Structure 1
Amino acid sequence: MRNRSHRPRAAVAMATAVLLGAGALTACDASGGDTPAPKGPSAQKPSPKPTPTWDVSPDSLAAVGDSITRGFDACSVLADCPEASWATGTDSEVRSLATRLLGRERAADHSWNHAETGARMADLPGQVEQAVANRPELITVMAGANDACRPSVDSMTPLTQFRADFEKAMRTLRRELPKTQVYVSSVPDLMRLWSRGRTNALGKQIWKLGICSSMLADPDARDAAATERRETVQRRVVAYNKVLEDVCAKDLRCRYDGGAVFEYRFDGDQLSRWDWFHPSKNGQSRLAELAYRQVKAEDPEG
């Protein structure tokens, strides 16, 4: 009988010890002890990483691309004129993007032009490698016109290759400069440039030297074959611009111009007086204005 009367007391003592132990563990958690914090719905979740903010005032700029960014035919016939470049030029008539962003004095030492006349998208990764050495806070990209401007429509850069080349250029940049911002210009409307330039006799003579033959060859021909050829080039330009937009959209620090350059109605004074195809100084200034508007916008257009 005595042995049976001791069992309840032992059970009560054990239960009390368990409760005290549980209380001690709870107190340790509350005071930040070594016991892991509770998991589940009640646990505090880490705050998501904030989306990088676009810097509307970068302090350095590098440009990559083709003849337009080199100011080709803006100052003299069949020659580069980098001082008239929309991106990095020093000409006061143009007021380049670098000048507008950095001021004339700073732009002289903090902007670089790595574009090349005749360059295609396949050349962009190499140009980006050169630009990376400058460690710019902003890189401008204007490329793709020469991928459509080929000797024939059959020799235009395939869309898949165009995309692969642009993606490679972006990977090249991000490998070295993950925080550098990128402004991507759309490819100009080559069909409109043909329609405006074909009214100029001198321009058509320059075209015969081989400028954008896929679009500009036989400029006065309006037969079905010529029309289909030009429309094929135009469709490819539209497709290139969609690639530029899509690839840029995947990068938080990339801004596509929303088709602003493609939609701009270059006319009269905006076109070179020699070839009526490349931008004149006035046209270069319009490109600089479009780019400046996009870079300075808190929320980009398009």
Structure 2
Amino acid sequence: MAYVIGLDVGGTKIEGVLARAAYHGSIPKVVRKVRLQTHPSSREKTIGNIVDAVAWLYSYGKENVNGFRLGGIGIGTSGFLRNGRMEMVPNIPALKGVQLRNVLQEQLREKGINSSLHVENDSICFVLAESMWGAARGFKSAIGVIVGTGIGGGLVLDGRVYRGRNGGAGHIGHVTIDPAGPRCGCGQFGHFESWCSGKHIVMRYIAAGGKMRGTGPAAIFAAAEAGRDAVAGRVMVETYEKFGIAIAGLINTFNPEVIVLGGGVSNLPPAFYKRIAAAAGKYAYPALFRGVKIIRNRLGDDAGVLGAASLALNG
């Protein structure tokens, strides 16, 4: 039985799994996990940690799995990949301009790892996994929205991944929601990401005079729900509204059956989903909004890495 390695390279961390390949629609069985840090401002350290994660999982398989055979490596990464070249990578700026697949393949070969290597946008990996094994299974048209350090999107339309003219489709985090809004990591203003990503929810809270420190979106949401922090309340009301505008735009443009949320912000309680759905309903065309599911992912933190592993399975 072949094994595959899947990596999810985000703005703060690198998650990796060694999984036993499964076929006929079954989910791969995770054998071992690894987590290393991303260094957004250091190309050498980030690439080094990606290579180290793969090498560690490969060594674990060789040493601990009887009859181990590596069938392939899949890597999902934030940013826009054009012909293998990293472009528009606001959350890992050190990787901009890197021919990531070529660089990684060369360094892995130096470590004696000669397996096939596939690199894809992390949001596409996410929506692939959720479509094959998770919350979007059984739906032909699904949109995955990852809301973490940044915001990314992946599209499965009529059963196929939609990449657009040159692979850039799905960068919904950089759709302008309100041009008078906060500055985005890409340099523009008022993007979905600069309003609603986990990092920017915290930044807006602090900028508005919030007193909690060392906090995250979950604490801000909880304080708003409990009514004990007026600043948190205002920030979350604004977040629901902007999130709803973005979701409505996706519904009006792509007419999906389901929108699946991933990333850290997706772990907020059901009340969060209720509020963003209510906001989306105000802005979406009623006939298109009716019946659309806006739901949490089913695969949790494994969605990205399993989607990356699926690249190795399906090539």
TM-score normalised to structure 2 length:
0.32
Which has a greater percent of strand? Answer: 2
TM-score normalised to structure 1 length:
0.33
